[in-house]
Structure 1
Amino acid sequence: MEQWGEDSGGNQEKGETDTNREPPVRPVLGVAGMSLICLADFEAYAKENLPKATWEYYAAGADECYTRDDNLQGFRRIRLRPRMLRDVSVMDTKTTVLGEEISCPIAIAPTAFHCLAWSDGEMSTARAAEALKLLYVASTYATCSVEEISQAAPEGLRWFQLYVYRERKLSERLIRRVEALGFKALVLTVDVPYTGKRRTDIRNNFQLPPHLKVKNFEGVFEGHSGPDNYGVPLNTLDPSVSWKDICWLRSVTNLPIVIKGILTKEDAELAVVYGVQGIIVSNHGGRQLDGELATIDALSEIVEVVQGRIEVYLDGGIRTGSDVLKAIALGAKCVFLGRPIVWGLTYKGEEGVKGILQILTDEFRLSMALSGCRNISEVNRNLIHVAKL
């Protein structure tokens, strides 16, 4: 493992680009007399301004919500070991994902139904990601089509989140569309053979409003029964999906494949064996199996078994810049944001999402500086304090 060195990564010249000299904290956003200076402020704004059923759809987890809450608590259990006198006058937060450069190791996770929060929905999300030079993973369950998303942010870095359907040709049809539109990778969600029990959605009889559609499904599922409450044709997802379907997926596309929903070293090793290019350590925001591991708690064993053979990312529970720092220090290449993006949309569409991303980027830069890290290569396991039992 790379050790701290007094000159490690410290060969930057004082004349580096101005982007690396940006102040670690920017002016805050103002809304109706209040200041939104952190992600929790956006959360409070969204809770106040979204319809109850919509807010609870976004906010809820499965069953008792233990895993949803533990995703947050997991970060609070981790302590940092900052280094001092490191000359952090010049900072660089850039990194790469599957060979593509992004301005910071923060990306947008695939989340459904952005138009519930803002009229332009996923188009606003894509524009915000493009503006900040960050990665956006578009959801199969988007309320804007992949064509609309691509047109809204033609220069943005985009991946596409995919499910495997009973009729493989339906999945393949979606793959062909995103290939033609310049999406750079497929993110296969593997933790939804069935939908977890989300009690608030049941109590609220949550349904996608009639004026909104899952745009990627238009014309794809003709002749199928449905839709269900989420706007998806009934009985289309295939619960028999197994590792052999990774082989099928590799046979129908040359795009890199990232698996989302891995929580154990055993499955991480299988992902390497089956030739995928990345893993997103994820528990679906605590919306599937309640009581499973918090993602930050699952990260270390996965990083250890993968040994750098493929890239490892994390989603779930990221709320501050120090959360990002902890995840990167424990081996994640990049972290993904889900619910906070919806909070930003609720505030003011693209501007709100940019606000969320900028606040988190600035907090991460500040956390790096206060820990003595000048660039991403200096953020490593030595930064983390391991509590003795």
Structure 2
Amino acid sequence: MSLASNSSPLISSETAKQHASRDSCWIIVHGSVYDVTDFLDEHPGGSQIILKYAGQDATEAYEPIHPPDAITTNLPKNKHLGPVDPDTIVAIAKEVTEEEKRRQALLAARPPLDEIINLHDFEVESELPCPSAKGWAYYSSASDDEITIRENRLAFQRVWFRPRVLRNVAKVDWSTTILGQKSSLPVYISATALGKLGHPDGELNLTRAAGKHGVIQMIATLASCSFDEIVDAGVPGQPFFVQLYVNRDREITKRYVQHAEKRGVKGLFITVDAPQLGRREKDMRLKLIGEESGAKVQEGQKDVPKDQGVARAISAFIDPSLCWDDIPWFLSITKIPIILKGISTAEDALLAYDSGVHGIVLSNHGGRQLDTARSGLEILIEVTDALKKRGATRQFDIFVDGGVRRASDVLKALALGAKAVGVGRAFLYAYCAYGQPGVEKAIQIFRDELEMNMRLLGVTTLDELRPEMVDARALNVHTGSIAEDNLFRGTYQPLSLAKFRDAKL
């Protein structure tokens, strides 16, 4: 369906091809023609990637990294030229590469879903179905030496249970409420961007599975599917949270937030730990804008450096001036509960409490920002202690994300004072590998593990969890030996160094 006005005259594809230069650049997206000449140097990914598709149908390249309405929202109406004449489009036969043939063969050889028994399995299986190595690099990458992404996982393993026995645990209930919304798990699906890089349906896999099983999904600002497309795919009454990167243009931010409120979103999670995105070297080595796309077209032009990867290419709009002084403005433009996502110290947790927001997420952005930042779980203890000393009395929820792969991780966080836990990559990997059924299987794995662990711990409801049920004395000790996590080590892919190109000797 064309995104342009149906009353516009049809434009032949041959006419579009005549506008394939920097001086006059048209592209076709979703059956409509757009004049993007004036937008070339404003494009967050740089002009090179647009010029590569000048005069052509760019839909295939556009879809994985843009919501469907991105071009219509950001491009002035007078640049929407009209629908392309479908009778003039000549289908281009695409050669199936050997790499793609190999990927399809490996995809067909995946284990059946009933052989997936833990969340680590999804990570192993998700790399092969990913449509491109660039997509996998974007998903799996973390900043610098990737110490924090590994620490996020290891932190949970430095906390030990103190189970109680001889309690009647015939019936256990792991349901809860999160920001007043019922949830079948003490887990919400945390925001992850660019879902179509891993699966054609993108974030809709999460939406449909979450609606079916009573789990809350957080919609990412940089989702491949549009906000409305995701909300419309939900079942009646399905609750959503939304994650917000604050735009330099606050009017755009205001419209987005207030539109989310009108659509019934139940929580606004403002990302506060990303004034600049971290250096994610796996992503940078397999950059979005590669040498193969013809760097000559951007010589002398202001552009995004071609080695910065997907993350940098799509994030130029984020406002680095966001500060505590802006919080009253956010509280004034919406009645949605506001959560600050990315708190890393007790000092900032107290500032958040004093600012009047409704809660915080203790998070290091999945290890993708400041490397050697501490895990959310480690921060949790100092934050809860600081709030007790402050005498905090009003409702102020604390969430934790990063590194969660087991229900035991969830229970440890809840015992130490978290209200719920955010899980991002694990659900992302699940749908990369198996689509919506993969997400449903991941939810079921959490259920099965929660039932077992709650019984073995000696609790029947989440309200019975207490700090004394865990031994967290070693949590802030970052040296010494612990039992090795073979599953995590088996899925983690170490960083690589620059390599020599094939040489003709």
Question: Scaled by the length of structure 2, what TM-score is found?
Answer: 0.65
Asked whether the 8 Å contact 2:416–2:467 carries over to 1, the reply is yes
Match for 2:400 among 290, 307, 314? 314
Instruction: Rate the CA distance shift 1:298–1:207 in 2: closer, same or farther, 3 A.
Output: farther
Alignment map for 1:163-242 (pairs within 5 Å): 163-206=245-288, 229-230=310-311, 235-242=316-323
Structure 1 counterpart SS, 2:360: strand
Per-residue Cα deviation, 1:116-148 (whole angstroms, up to 9, x for no partner): 121111112111111111111000000111111
Aligned match for 1:335, one of 421, 425, 435: 421
- Which residue of 183, 188, 193 maps to 1:102? 183
1:157 aligns with 2:243: no
Task: Give the distance between the partners of 1:194 and 1:204, measured in 2 at CA.
Answer: 20
* Letter of the structure 2 residue corresponding to residue 201 of structure 1: D
Aligned partners of 1:361 and 1:112: how far apart in 2? Answer: 25
**Which of 64, 67, 78 is the aligned partner of 2:145?**
64
Whole-angstrom distance in 2 between the partners of 1:65 and 1:137: 25
* Shift in Å, 1:226: 8.1
Residue in structure 1 matched with residue 443 of structure 2 by the alignment: 357
Q: Choose between structure 1 and 2 for higher RCO, CA contacts under 8 A separated by at least 6 residues.
A: 1
Q: How many residues align?
A: 344
Deviation at 1:97, TM superposition (A): 1.2
**Structure 1 residue 302 displacement after superposition:** 1.2
- The Cα shift of 1:33 comes to 8.7
SS of alignment partner, residue 347 of structure 1: helix
Structure 2 distance, partners of 1:362, 1:302, is 30
Q: 1:386 to 1:339 in 2, by over 3 A?
A: closer
C-alpha change, 1:371 and 1:200, in structure 2 (3 Å) is same
For 1:42, the equivalent position in structure 2 comes to 122
| Structure 2 CA distance for partners of 1:299 and 1:270, relative to 1, 3 Å | same
Distance 1:229 1:385, change over 3 A: closer
Residue 201 of structure 1 aligns to a residue whose secondary structure is helix
Which residue is 1:215 aligned to? none
Q: How far did 1:267 drift?
A: 0.3
Deviation digits for residues 1-29 of structure 1 (CA, Å, limit 9, x no counterpart): xxxxxxxxxxxxxxxxxxxxxxxxxxxxx
Distance in 2, Cα, partners of 1:82 & 1:325: 12
User: How far, CA to CA, are the matches of 2:472 and 2:119 in structure 1?
Assistant: 27
In 2, Cα distance between equivalents of 1:246 and 1:279: 13
Structure 2 SS opposite 1:31 = coil
- The answer to whether the 8 Å contact 1:226/1:233 transfers is no
- Between 367-376 and 124-133, report the one with greater CA deviation: 124-133
CA distance in 2, matches of 1:101, 1:33: 28
Q: Equivalent of 1:375, from 461, 468, 481?
A: 461
Q: How far is 1:95 from its partner?
A: 1.1
Instruction: State the shift of 1:361 in Å.
Output: 2.2
- C-alpha RMSD of matched pairs (Å): 2.1
1:56-83 per-residue CA deviation (whole Å, 9 max, x = no partner) reads 2111110000000000000111100000
Q: Pick one of 92, 105, 116 that aligns with 2:197.
A: 116
Q: Between 225-234 and 130-139, report the one with greater CA deviation.
A: 225-234
Q: C-alpha offsets along residues 90-112 of structure 1, whole Å, 9 cap, x if unaligned?
A: 11111111112211201100110
The structural deviation recorded for 1:182 is 1.0
Name the SS for the 1:236 alignment partner: coil
**Partner secondary structure for residue 340 of structure 2:** strand
On the 8 A contact 1:128/1:351 being kept in 2, the answer is yes
Q: 1:232 to 1:254 in 2, by over 3 A?
A: farther
Secondary structure in 1 matching 2:404: coil
Gaps of at least 5 residues in structure 2 are 1-109, 291-302, 478-505
Judging changes above 3 Å, is the alpha-carbon distance between structure 1 residues 335 and 207 closer, same or farther for their aligned structure 2 residues? farther
Task: Provide the rounded CA distance (Å) in 2 between the counterparts of 1:204 and 1:263.
Answer: 30
Q: Which residue of 1 aligns with 2:44?
A: none
What is the deviation of 1:355?
A: 0.8
Equivalent residue, structure 1, for 2:220: 139
Q: Decide whether aligned partners of structure 1 residues 235 and 113 sit closer, same or farther in structure 2, where only a CA change above 3 A counts.
A: closer
Q: For residue 31 of structure 1, report the CA deviation from its aligned partner.
A: 3.0
- The one-character-per-residue Cα deviations of 1:287-342 (angstroms, maximum 9, x if unpaired) are 00001101111111112223464000000010011111111111111001111111
Residue 234 of structure 1 deviates from its aligned partner by 6.6
Taking structure 1 as reference, are residues 254 and 197 closer, same or farther at Cα in structure 2, changes over 3 Å only?
same
Distance in 1, Cα, partners of 2:111 & 2:285: 32
Task: Map residues 225-264 of structure 1 onto 2, 5 A cutoff.
Answer: 229-230=310-311, 235-264=316-345
CA 1:33–1:352 in structure 2 vs 1: closer, same or farther (change >3 Å)?
closer
Is the alpha carbon distance of 1:229 and 1:372 closer, same or farther for their aligned partners in structure 2, counting shifts above 3 Å?
Answer: closer
**Separation in structure 2 between the aligned mates of residue 66 and residue 150 of structure 1, nearest angstrom:** 36
Change (3 A) 1:33 1:367: closer
Aligned to 1:48, what secondary structure does the other structure show? coil
Task: Please report how far the alpha carbon of residue 164 of structure 1 lies from its aligned counterpart in structure 2 after TM superposition.
Answer: 1.5
Query: How far is 1:185 from its partner?
Result: 1.5
Report deviation, 1:347.
2.2
AA paired with 1:129?
A
1:303 maps to 384
